[in-house]
Structure 1
């Protein structure tokens, strides 16, 4: 089997990040769980089962995990976004950084409230895009679906200014049973991030759990 890149899941002990770590570890990716507290990450990593020849999942600080990985995934609250970007910037030169952050503004999380910069993805591009290859993805996949271990019938919109980096993230998406869709440059991240609030509203109004999106007209 072709070697897979090592993934750091920053915020990997949270709901979304833990689901991502579980899925990629099971698919055979080497995974490092990142947290602000190394001990917390290390203890949590022991609960995740690796599969398909992957090494045991390990834990580290956010910066330590990012430094040791080939691809870094941000699965953190928007309130921690700026600080985390500043923390990892010194160790992500040349790496793909996948921003899964959604700029939700409580209490009206079902209302689209994008930041003045346009999106979390664009903020990441502005802050670390001079050193890293920023890609935005995974905003529209519910944490509960990732954690369930079952099939996920959702598409993932992947945006970024580096076409090869987008394709790498599409490959990662396909590897865990979803379909990655090339959605163009990072400016388009605003559309995917806005959809999260719309999906939260749909969940509430229709009393469903983890509504997702699928793009029609494209063969698998």
Structure 2
């Protein structure tokens, strides 16, 4: 359910289901999308928990000009209400959850990072013997949906911060140009500029584990780091 504006081609509005919307990443992205004028349905296994977090987001949006509506629902009901679905869930249990959702015909944005942690810190998990990623798994599990990967490397702390926009870029990967365009437009609510087309969906194999590098940087320098792509000019 894409919501049109007076200039829908250049300033589209979407209705986005955020699966995992009660976690830090999902809540933060839902807040940013709504602040950017998009309608958001936060999903959770328990509708009551989703609605409680939605109320928290609504309170934070109070007074924000042009903010979109925010509500909460169970994961399946959130998906049913929207044409765009963001997967912001832990990788453990990912496949079972994705397979259970009514995703046919939806544009699905995966920001899932399959990470593991040991005494040496965070590192990427090997998916399908190195020939896969969480985003590609979602596409295989929901073949009638269109999956793109985006928002992998955005700090949950920064998303919930008071700053207007995060000083970083969102890289979007996927095999369908129109679906990538939706994620790139949504990125403007987070960074103040459209996302960057990073290539095919298989490149999620590089984007997802790169989050481990940022975690290592954050621990070393006590920051919340992000990615910036140079050389593209403004706007990109």
Output the TM-score relative to the length of structure 1.
0.92
Displacement of 1:149 after TM fit?
2.9
Q: Is the 8 A contact 1:27 1:52 kept in 2?
A: no
Q: Is the 8 A contact 2:117 2:123 kept in 1?
A: no
CA RMSD of aligned residues (A): 1.7
**Please, which runs of 5 or more residues in structure 1 have no aligned partner?**
none
CA distance in 1 between counterparts of 2:24 and 2:17 reads 15
- State how 1:1-220 maps to structure 2 within 5 Å: 1=5, 2=8, 4-49=13-58, 50=61, 51-88=64-101, 91-107=102-118, 110-116=122-128, 117-128=131-142, 130-150=143-163, 151-176=165-190, 177-205=192-220, 207-219=221-233, 220=235
* Partner secondary structure for residue 93 of structure 2: helix
Output the TM-score relative to the length of structure 2.
0.86
**Please, which runs of 5 or more residues in structure 2 have no aligned partner?**
none
* Partner secondary structure for residue 59 of structure 1: strand
Per-residue Cα deviation, 1:113-169 (whole angstroms, up to 9, x for no partner): 3312421111112111x2101011111111001010313111111011111100111
Q: Is the 8 A contact 1:152 1:178 kept in 2?
A: no
Equivalenced residues, count = 216
Per-residue Cα deviation, 1:14-61 (whole angstroms, up to 9, x for no partner): 000110111111111111000000010011111113544455311000
